Amino acid sequence: MPNIIHSGYKYLTPLSKLLYLLHMDIFLLLFMFVTMPSPTLGSSQIPAMFVFGDSLVDPGNNNQLKTLAKANYPPNGIDFPLGATGRFCNGATIADHLGNLLGLDLIPAFNNPSTIGSNIMQGVNFASSSAGILNDTGNHIGQNFPLFQQVQNFGENILPELKSPTLNSDTTFKDYLAESLFFSNIGNNDFLNRHLLPPNYPLNRDIPPEFYDMLVNEYSILLEKLYSYGARKFLVTGLAPLGCLPIVIALYSKDTNQCYEHHNEVSRKFSAMINIMVQHLNQDLPGASLLYWDIYTATRQIIDNPSQYGREANVKFAKV
C-alpha cells in the first residue's frame, strides 16, 4: 500500500514537461539570481541549492532507512541516466531539473556516504519520502526524515562541513549561503497520511481548520530556522493535486477518468495558506527573498490537457 501511494507520484512526471510549462516561473527565478554574481562558481546562476521535501524531490535518502517508502528498484529510474537511485519517478525530479537549469551539478542525497567534502559544495538534498512537516507524519510506513530533522541535518551536519574547506572567510561564507537557493516542497504527506487515505478517510471527513493552522505555523518556524542559519533565498511550493493521485482516483473517484475534487480542494486550500505564509515571511525576515511556486495549477494543466504534453488522453487508472 505505501509503495503504491508513492509510486503514484510517477504520474506527475515527465517533469521536463512540467518545467516547460513553468518556464515563466523559471525565467523569473533565473532573473532573480542572474543579478547576483556568484562568489564561488563561474558557470552556475547560484553557488548551491539545498532541497527539503518529500517523495516528489527525494533523491534516495530513504534507501538506507527501515521503511516501505523506498524506490531504489526498477521501473523507477528507467529514464534516468543513473537508473534506480531512490527517486520516486521514471526520470529526474523537479529539484534535479531546477538544479540543472540553474547550472548546478546533480545535487547529492544527504543520506549517502559519499555526500561529503567537495561533493556538498553545490548543495545537498535532504528530502525524504513519506515525510511531512510534522515529526510523526508517515511513521506508520517506517522511518523518514521529517522536516525538523531535514533542517537539523542541514544546520548541524552540513553547515559546519561547508564552512571549513574552501570558504574560510566569514563574509564569503555568508554570501555563499545568502545567494544559495533553499528549495522546499513538503506538506503533501501531512494530509495524505493523516487525513486523506484509509483508514482515516472517509471516516474523518473533515480536516479541522486548526490542523491547517498548526501545520503552516510549524512550517513557518522551520523556514525561519533555515533563515537563522543564513539562508536568504527560498523557493517554496504549494501542494500537488492530491485528488489526482492514481490511488486516490482508484479508491474514491466515481469515474476513473476524473480526479477526486474533495482532495484537490484540500490541496488548493493549504497551498493558498503556504502562499500567504511566504508573503508574511518576506515581510518579517530582513533581507530574505521567498518565492511561492504554484505546482498545483501547473500539474493540473497537464492532467487536464494531456495531449498538449505528449500524453494519451483518457488514460484509465488501474485499480490498485
Binding site residues, ligand NAG, CB under 6 A: 135, 148, 218
**Pairing state of beta strands 181-185 and 233-237?**
parallel
CB 86 within 8 A of CB 127: no
The counts of H helices and E strands in the chain are 12, 4
Strand order in the sheet with 181-185: 49-53, 181-185, 233-237, 289-293
d(CA 169, CA 200) in angstroms, rounded, equals 52
CB of 135 to ligand NAG, least distance (A): 4
CB 316 within 8 A of CB 249: no
CB 267 within 8 A of CB 241: yes
Tell me whether residue 29 or residue 222 sits nearer to ligand NAG (CB atom).
222
- Residue 17 burial class via C-beta count within 10 angstroms: exposed 0-12, middle 13-18, buried 19 and up: middle
Neighbouring C-alpha atoms within 13 Å toward the C-beta of 134: 17
Which alpha helices (DSSP H) does 138-208 contain, by range? 147-152, 159-163, 170-179, 188-191
Partners of 233 in the β-ladder = 181, 289
